[in-house]
Amino acid sequence: MKNYIALAFGLVCTIASAQNINDVLQYNQQNLIGTARYQGMSGAFGALGGDLSALNTNPAGAAVFNNHLFSATLSNYNKSNDANYFGTNREATRNDLEINQIGGVLVFKSNNSDWKKIAIAANYDLVQNFDNNFSISGVSNQGIDQYFLSYANGVPFGPLLKRDGEYLEEAYLDIGRNLGFVDQQAFLGYYGGIIDPVDEANDNNIDYVSNATYNTVNQDYFENTTGYNSKFILDFATQYQDNLYLGASLNFHSINYDKYTEFTETGYTVGTDITRTTFDNYLHTEGNGFSFALGAIAKLNDMVRVGASYESPTWYRLTDDTSQRISSDLADDDINYINFDIINVYERYTIKTPSKVTGSLAVVFGKDGLLSLDYGFQDMSQAEIKPTNDPGFAAANDEISNELGTVSTVRLGGEYRIKDISLRAGYRYEQSPYEDEYTIGDLNGFSLGFGYSFGPNRLDIAYNRTEQDVNKQLFNAGLTTPALVNVANTNVTIGYTVNF
């Protein structure tokens, strides 16, 4: 009967202070997405158009098409994370196969107007595939007690105590609903046996001490994430006379994200009361977003093209639900009733990612090939989590404005044609969003591609790889020494295009 009652208490938490700077960066990040031709040239299509995934960079590109077209793309994502934590290396890999692009364009031509062409395109791209694994192990001088102490110190002890006749899981949810995430973590630390108040008889006590004794501890951390950030584009573009293309798009974003983490800690001082602690967390996020884009492409002469585009901020409306479980030798007897069936449901919140501008240049060598360059600029310090009157969000927004800076993105691509065969290559660079480049390093990547045209159809294959160093903290507080992770993403993509 107790389990049944507990399951009924998935209460809405009104202070959702668990969201932070990492959420903004995660939902702003875009993998090299799209058609195989687009990926084979590292996405350098801002002044070229004529590719459905190029609409992600410049919506004017739809007017470059000369006929109706349909394309679909399949990608194999390989993600490798090599983590070093206090001198211990662990590697984790993940492979996934996804249909990452599907779309089409309709082109309507006019022979009696300066407006030569109108194009309407619809395209779906998998902006980010969240399927990933991290495995981190090491001998640390910072235990999980530091996580709970960082939240508990300053929190009055009295409101953390469960009331007479109240189940432990009910008290956990009630504190999350009425007091918020910080107090809830203090509650877990206390009933999990990890920390105690300095003065247990004083309800106003705000100081806590650890029950764990150690010089160093053995820590094992595993993280599994799944889900996606997808983008559906509805694009309208037109060609004016022979040399100018204009376009606008409405972009509809969808997010579904799950993160599961397991943490185990052992190796405490021999003879102490705590010999083993486990602390596991689960997060589910879902929601949608909206943005729009404007763009133009101009042919300066037969060889040179320039492009410019503006993508508005993306406004995401998201909801989170979380669940946790903890155990230790000193935990309350009923601690196992706090588990993944006991769910905190947070109120809806908004993440606004900043606008982005892109300038592009391309040189076309007739039917022999082309070179293309895109430069993008985005100010990540302008990102924001709302409602801003939430104290947790206000603190996160201060962190965003103080720690994040401008991001420059460079994409360079080329294509060489030999009759019906196209050979492609590209380079991609993305600057770290952090001012100090410590938490996340610069991203570098390259790509190779091949295309074969037969009649109105084309088969494309692409290979692209990116690498980036990330300092990953196991938790958002307390354990301040991160694991240094080399993140390598390798995509192999095949796409098919039909012109009609």
DSSP letter for each residue of 170-214? HHHHHHHHHT-HHHHHHHHHHHTTSEEESSTT-TT---EEES---
CB under 8 Å to 112, separation ≥6 — which residues?
none
Taking the C-alpha atoms of residue 346 and residue 1, their distance in angstroms, rounded to an integer, is: 26
Q: Give the pair of three-digit tokens for residue 245.
A: 């293309």
Looking at this protein, which amino acid is placed at residue 357? V
Q: What is the value of pTM for the model shown?
A: 0.91
Q: Give the pair of three-digit tokens for residue 465.
A: 């790889």
DSSP lists the bridge partners of residue 304 as: 363
| Model pLDDT, residue 216 | 96
Run of H or E residues at 40: helix 36-40
Nearest to 145 by CA among 22, 15, 19, 326: 326
- Please identify which residue in the block is written with the tokens 């996580």: 147
| Model pLDDT, residue 18 | 63
Terminal Cα-to-Cα distance of the chain (whole angstroms): 64
Taking the C-alpha atoms of residue 487 and residue 485, their distance in angstroms, rounded to an integer, is: 6
CB 340 within 8 A of CB 282: yes
Count CB atoms within 10 A of the CB of residue 419: 8
Taking the C-alpha atoms of residue 48 and residue 424, their distance in angstroms, rounded to an integer, is: 14
CA dihedral 404, 405, 410, 411 (to 10 degrees): 30
419: left (phi over 0), alpha (psi -120 to 50) or beta: left
- Which CB contacts under 8 angstroms, 24+ apart, belong to 106-111? 106/68, 107/65, 107/66, 107/67, 107/68, 107/69
pLDDT digits (tens, 9 = 90+) for 302-337: 999 999 999 999 999 999 999 999 999 999 999 999
Task: Point out the residues of the chain with pLDDT beneath 50.
Answer: 1-11, 14-16
Give me the DSSP letters along 327-381. EETTS-TTGGGSSTTS-EEEPPEEEEEPPEEEEEEEEE-TTSEEEEEEEEEEEGG
Q: How far is CA 220 from its chain centroid?
A: 24
